[in-house]
Structure 1
Amino acid sequence: MTEKEKMLRGEPYFSFGEELAGERQHAKEVVFEFNRLEPSKVVERHALLRGLFGSAGGKFYIEPPFRCDYGYNIHWGEGSYANYNLVILDCNRVTIGDQVLIGPNVSIYTAGHPIDPVTRAQDVEFALPVTIGNRVWIGGGAILNPGVSIGDNTVIGAGSVVTKSIPANVVAVGNPCRVLREIRPDEIGGDHGSD
């Protein structure tokens, strides 16, 4: 089994082999080009990401600067938006649902390192997928750790550190991120101005 296959299966792997290093270098080149394009070159910027990502909705928007490890593990939903300085360490699958709002300075990490210092010193790491449901709002400065999922319609407060999965239809905040309250039925849906 290759190191890439181990990485994608969530098993310990060595990340500095030729194949993975080359793929990271390719992503760096594409992301560099994305970040350096003029602000008016929206179509060109997003064409670069479409070629890099595993999949992307017909309409999406990511503000530069943006960083990722590989790109091909990112699956970006329809109508989803990310503000400045999004970092995605996509050593495993990152699924971002439809109509997701991601605030500035958010970090999504699939990559982790062993607790054992001897193993860690051998450049061994692991990666677990991260899943964000539809219509999620992630506040600025939030950090999502390996293996977490966030359910549909949920709001993650600014500065939160998500270490465990968060269910759908809740407001969750803090470090570690915890459910603060459920979202009321009248807070979900399109009827915002009934008489």
Structure 2
Amino acid sequence: MTVDLNTLLETDDDVRRLFEGRPMQYRKSESLPDLTWQAQSTCDRINRVFFEDQAEAMRLFHDLVPGAGDGVDFRPPINLDYGIGLTIGDRTFINKDFLIVGGGYVEIGSDCLIGPRCTICTPNHALDAKTRLDGWEHTMPVRIGSNVWLGANVTICPGAVIGNNSIIGAGSVVVGDIPANSIAVGNPCRVIKPLPDHDPAFAEIE
């Protein structure tokens, strides 16, 4: 079942707060846990049928993620808290164990390569103990440009932005902005050098 984000934004205050990045209480919401249950349940079905009926798995995936473009490819398992608010550009490949935690907008560009066990997180819980205990949190959007390569086990934190063509090394934790055409690694992730004009490992194809 496809969920229409625009309709929810007009009719549901908790969804509106979620995607506007305003404070909200997920655990006290009447609608948000149900939306995540639906998304996670669909992910479970996708993961179970993928190798037996890939066409059905892709149909379920595009129902769950209406913002996924043409030629998006993935390998199970995937686990999404929400399909709404997620856009994935054409021809992007997502390897196994892909996880998006929380709501809010996530934008992934075209022709990206997302390595295994990558995680995108959008929620921030309150810093002070009392407010956090009361369940308050807010989201920050994540934006990943086109032709970005994320190595294995990369974690993208709330509010992070990665520019076009950049490479994020395996195991990195991205907490801020990574400019376009960069190679960045570490925790926190930092730029170590610009992209080369040509990779010498592929000299024979010049």
Question: In which range does the TM-score fall when normalised by the shorter chain?
Answer: over 0.9
CA distance in 2, matches of 1:123, 1:34: 31
- The worse-fitting range, judged by mean Cα deviation, of 145-154 and 88-97 is 88-97
Cα contact 1:71–1:90 (8 A) shared by 2: no
CA distance in 1, matches of 2:105, 2:97: 20
Aligned match of 1:34: 46
Aligned match of 1:15: 26
- The worse-fitting range, judged by mean Cα deviation, of 55-64 and 171-180 is 55-64
Residue identity in the other structure for 1:99: D
Tell me, what secondary structure is at the counterpart of 1:152? Answer: coil
1:32-54 alpha-carbon deviations (Å, 9 max, x no partner): 11011141422211111111114
Which ranges in structure 2 are unaligned for 5 or more consecutive residues? 1-11
CA distance in 1, matches of 2:173, 2:14: 29
Equivalent of residue 187 in structure 2, options 164, 175, 184? 175
Report deviation, 1:192.
7.3
1:107 paired with 2:119, answer yes
Tell me, what secondary structure is at the counterpart of 1:27? Answer: helix
Residue identity in the other structure for 2:26: S
Count of matched residue pairs: 191
1:61 paired with 2:58, answer no
1:46 paired with 2:58, answer yes
Equivalent of residue 70 in structure 1, options 82, 86, 93? 82
Report deviation, 1:111.
1.2
Report deviation, 1:117.
1.1
Aligned match of 1:6: 17
Normalised to the residue count of structure 2, the TM-score between the two structures is 0.88
CA RMSD across the alignment: 1.5
Stretches (4+) displaced over 6 A? none
CA distance in 2, matches of 1:63, 1:193: 28
Q: Which has the higher helix share?
A: 2
Equivalent of residue 109 in structure 2, options 71, 84, 97? 97
Residue identity in the other structure for 2:136: V
Aligned match of 2:91: 79
Which ranges in structure 1 are unaligned for 5 or more consecutive residues? none
Cα contact 1:74–1:90 (8 A) shared by 2: no
Equivalent of residue 146 in structure 2, options 124, 127, 134? 134
